[in-house]
Structure formats: C-alpha cells, structure tokens
Amino acid sequence: MSRRGPIRAAGVWSYLALAAMAVGLRVLVGCGSEIVATGGAGRGDWRHVGGGLVIVGGGGTPEGVVARAIEMAGGADCRVVVVPQASMRAEAGNESAEMFREAGARNVRVLRIEINKSAGDVVNAGGMVDAGSASNVQRSADAGNVANATNAANTGGAAYAKGAANMGDAAKSRDAANKGHASKAGGAVEAGGASRFRGDSEIEILNDADLIWFSGGDQNRLMRRLNEAGIADVIRQRFRDGCVVGGTSAGAAVMSERMITGKADLESIAHGGTELAGGLGLWPGVIVDQHFLKRRRFNRLYSAVLDHPDLIGVGIDERTAVIVRGDRIDVMGDSSVMIIDARNASTSAGERGRTATQVRVDTIAPGDSSRF
C-alpha cells in the first residue's frame, strides 16, 4: 500500500488506540489530501460500475451534501425519487422531499408502495396518505389495482399534497399533476413545478429518475419492501445505467451486498458476532456501517470485516457523507469516515478469542479523499 499527504491525529485517535491495544491492530490514521491503497488480485474490488453514490451516516444530511447529490444528478432540473420505505413514519418521505426542494431541486417525487398480502400484488398508496391510512387504502383496492385518491380519502387517510401548487387540495385524478395539484395514487406525489416524469407506475417513476434517495429507518424493512414490490432489481439497473443513488442511515447500509442488519455483539470482537444479510450491492467489495463513531460501532464492523476479509469496512459517522465515483471516495460533512481493510491481514480464532495482525485502519477527515 502507498499513501500520500500529511498525517495528523484525528479526534477519534484515543478510541482507535484502545481498540489497537485490545486486538493487536496496525492503525494508520490518514487525513491528507488523498489516501491510495491497492489490494492483491482477487481480494475484493472497490470499483463500482454505474452512477455515483452519496452515502450519509445518519443524524441529518448537511446542506452541502444534498447540493452535491443534485449536482451529480444533473442540476436543479434532475428528477429526484425519494424512497422512504425504511421508515414507518408517514411523513418521512415528505421530509426528505422537502430537503431536496429547499436545496433547489424542481422535480421531486415520493415513491409509495404497499404489498397486498392476499393477492401478492403491489398496491400504490399515492405517496400522499397520512399515518394509519395506507392499510385502509390497501384493503379498499381490488387485487392488482391501484387505490385511487378518492378511496384514500374515504378510508380514513386524507390525501395530502405537501409541495404541490395547490397544497390544500386533495388529489383528484390521474391528470391532477398536470393541473398543478398533487398526483393521484399513481406511485408518487410530485413536489413542485411541472412534472418531468413520464409515467405514474413505480417502475416508470424509477426508470425516469436521475437521483434515487433512501430515507433512514430500518434497513431490513427497506430491503423487504423493495424485494416484495419487485423493484430492487429495477434500482440496481437504474444505477448501472448511470442514475445517482444515495441514502442516509438505513439507506446507507443497503448499499452493501452484505448488509449489516443491526444484530451484533457490541461488547467484544467475536467470530459471527455481526449478522449480515443481502443488500442492494451497489458498492461491491465493501461493508457499510453508519452512525459509526457517535454510536461506537467499531466492534461490529471490525468483527464483520474479520469474518469477511475480502471486504473492506467503511464506517461513516453522523452528518458525514461518502461520495463514491469510480474508485475514488470523497468525504464531506461534520465528522470522519473509518476504513478497515483486512485483505492483507493474518487472522486466527481460538477458544479465548480472535487474533488479527496487519489489519489496516484509516481515518479520513471531511474534505479529504481516498482512492482504492
């Protein structure tokens, strides 16, 4: 491995030093202009093929990160689709949409999907149903059909059009968006301006997106909803086609192919101590963890990396983002990103614990970059 740029101590040095003494790490803290690392052949690949990634560690998304995501997707006229299924909060999608509108995005839609448990079909709640109404809309729709906005209003969920031109109007018809009202129950609600989206179904909306954004919540719930709705592969293909994909907290965790579920032994470093499941796999060769320093998650990511030494651990702290373009990452925000690389390490496990040597740990500060 080679490394360029000055080295300075980071705010998390004392925490890393304790971890180093406990498990025999070789700790390298790098906060220079760029850190360059090369791994052996066949030992994982950091490079991704497709659009850029904007991965936030939770705890709020700095304005500069939102602006960077919009810029990467083509500017203010880009089409942004917010996917809020990680959260059970009805307002989560609208809050994320408002974040992008305030940053200057003119075409923002919130994707709403529900699964009809009896028929196995997707029932779309229109992106505009208040808390507690989605299940009512689901029951009111015929199997395989979309519940319209009238049904939504009549089943206890007043349709809601935050950000639409006539904000007090309930959604009325499929062409409401063209009249300055909120869209009907067609997969999303438009947020401001004339629509540049060409369709209303989930797949049509995603295929039109220049930027797909995952809100925070529970990554397991998000992956379950995406898979049940049959749109996980659509998102993967959009990314391969050049769409920018981003997310925060749970929306960060799903970027990995092997996703941290949240179940982990936080008190020790143990074989199998961190549970992994299938994620979207948009960033191959890595395991992403979030809220990393704030919630002291070093042990769970380190354990996961030792269990899968071909993968590199990326721990992103709160209000901090990693921007991924090709084999380069840029760090933005308020805190640091930790990189755990065991591809050249020697590890062993015994009855009394694990031994790991030659594990590389780097800390990258905001404004710095890394190339692998």
Give the residue numbers marked as catalytic: 249, 267, 291
Rg, the chain, Cα only: 22
The Cα 28–Cα 144 span in angstroms is: 55
Residues 133/243, Cβ–Cβ less than 8 Å: no
What number of residues does the chain have? Answer: 372
User: Are 195 and 177 in contact, with CB atoms under 8 Å apart?
Assistant: yes
Rounded distance between C-alpha atoms, residue 128 and residue 157, angstroms: 9
- Reading the block at residue 30, the tokens are 């790098």
d(CA 256, CA 222): 13
* Strands 244-248, 53-56: pairing kind: parallel
**CA distance linking residue 126 with residue 57, whole number of Å:** 29
Residue type, 81: V
